[in-house]
Amino acid sequence: MKIYILPVSHKLQPTQQIQLYPAHNKDFGVEQDFFRYVINNQHFLTDDPQFADWHYLPVFWTRWHVNHNFAQNGVEELQDAVERSILNKDKTFTICQYDDGPVVDLGSTTIFLASRKTNSGIDIPLLCSPHRVPLFKPAKKYLASFIGRLATYPLRQQVFDEIKGRNDVYLFDGNKGTRFFVQKTLQSKIALCPRGYGGSSFRLFEAMQLGVVPFLIGDIDTRPFKKYIDWDEISFYLTSADCLNDMLGSLDATITRQMGEKAAKIWQHELSYQRWCKYVIKELI
């Protein structure tokens, strides 16, 4: 398979983003990571767009929209620039982390999305900078935990209300910093990952990195690359908070420990920066 990188205006690849998230994250994400991957794997590339099987549109969507007041302005300029860049929408694909997608009309372009909110698009991981893991991890203290903002999406409040009476679950609405988040997550067997404004959560992949079982809760199952990764071995999923109490009550501590260990290995070898990109290629073949 051969890929042609569509030439785009330098404006469509901003060098930085005015606001970073999560707070500990470096100014880097999956959009930049995949661009680096194809540049470093020249055997996929061709300079001839007619010979290419696919055209890659390397727009840094998240930086553009964040820098343009979260897509409140600049959309028409972006649309015009994209239209000038695309040669054949049926052969074009792009990588997008932004929660609302590219925002502009891309027609039949194949879109890989890190936080899909609709039934269209192909899921990819929503990654951030890895956390520093302490040499000596704290003992497990909680069955499950959630540390984050509830106001991001109504489902988060529903999760909070469903299990707030449990003594074996730690819940915190807000942000007390990265060290606090890492400490409480490591003290937990399960990291609750209710979707936010987007259909996925950084927390899911942060938990995997820390060796904690992620529990995605959301109307769309956005766990990526299901054809290649057995998510049932390393995570839990529910479409709503309704059965959460019963499910948490039925879990076995030994199983969750084994799942967390497997999750960390899958993150390291299959879903961390650069490692996940090969699955995009597999989806395109």
- Estimate to the nearest angstrom the gap between the alpha carbon of 242 and the chain centroid: 24
- C-alpha distances out from residue 116 to 196, 217, 220, 242, 273, Å: 11, 14, 8, 22, 19
User: What is the mean predicted confidence (pLDDT) over 171-176?
Assistant: 95
**Binning pLDDT at 50, 70 and 90, where does residue 23 land?**
confident
Q: 165 vs 76, which has greater pLDDT? A: 76
Exposure pattern of 69-106 as b/e (b: 16+ CB <10 Å)? Answer: eebeebeeebeebbeebbeeeebbbbbbbbbebbbbeb
pLDDT of residue 254: 82
**Binning pLDDT at 50, 70 and 90, where does residue 196 land?**
very high
Residue 268 DSSP SS3: helix
The tens digit of pLDDT for each residue in 214-271 reads: 999 999 999 999 999 999 999 999 999 999 999 998 988 788 999 999 999 999 999 9
Q: Give the Cα separation of 49 and 93 in Å (integer).
A: 13
pLDDT for 54 beyond 80: yes
pLDDT of residue 18: 94
pLDDT of residue 255: 87
The tens digit of pLDDT for each residue in 69-121 reads: 999 999 999 999 999 999 999 999 999 999 999 999 999 999 999 999 999 99
pTM value is 0.95
pLDDT for 276 beyond 80: yes
Q: Give the Cα separation of 65 and 102 in Å (integer).
A: 9
Domain ranges of the chain: 3-113, 142-271
Pick the CATH number of 142-271 from 3.20.20.140, 1.10.10.10, 3.40.50.2000, 3.40.50.620: 3.40.50.2000
pLDDT of residue 251: 87
